[in-house]
Amino acid sequence: MRSRSRSRQAQAGLTFVELIIVFVVLGLLLSITVRAVRGSWVAASRRSASRDVTAYLYRARGIAIQQSRAAWLVRSGNILKILVDSSGTPVQLGSQINFSQRYGATLGFSPTPKDDVQFDPRGFAVGVTASAPKFIVALGGRTDTVCVTSLGKITTRSCP
């Protein structure tokens, strides 16, 4: 009788090989989950950065209309700031946003020689020709684009 109870006790646990197999399977499942979550986090971060570019464009346009003065949205590297005309001198209004620090994103602008969008007191974008100014938000190997037309219309889907 005692030999049977000892053999049952010896068989009651998991072997070392079985434990290793369980940990390998758990590791694979965890790595798949982490990749999926990280990918969605990067996409959400890029979308948030694009929304901030759009919000700053609308804010600059709204300030130009509200104060009946010229206003600019200026890109300086990865930083966006709003300037408003104060008796012929551009003055920064509000805080600036650093896309590299906040989102880890890179902020680009097209056409390249210019790094700003100017709105006149009526809210129209000044100096916009056939090629609309484009703010390009790059993060995680993908990009989002925010465009401005001459009438001050701001789009994120279809840029000319």
Q: Residue type for 65, please? A: I
**Would 93 be classed as within a structural domain?**
yes
The 10s digit of each residue's pLDDT in 100-130 is 999 989 998 887 677 888 899 998 888 777 6
8 A C-beta contact, residue 129 and residue 152: no
**6 within domain boundaries:** yes
CATH number at residue 113: 3.55.40.10
Residue 63 lies in a domain: yes
Task: List the alpha helices (DSSP H) in 68-134.
Answer: 99-103
pLDDT in tens, 34-63: 777 777 888 888 999 999 999 999 999 999
pTM: 0.74
Asked whether residue 160 is domain-assigned, the answer is no
Total domains, the chain: 1
User: 152, 128 in Cβ contact below 8 A?
Assistant: no
Within a domain: 22: yes
Cα angle vertex 138, ends 133, 44, to 5°? 115
The parent domain of residue 50 ranges over 2-155
Instruction: Flag whether 129 is in a domain.
Output: yes
Q: Is residue 120 part of a domain?
A: yes
Q: Are 115 and 74 in contact (CB under 8 A)?
A: yes
Q: Do 129 and 160 form a contact (C-beta atoms < 8 A)? A: no
% of residues, the chain, pLDDT over 90: 38
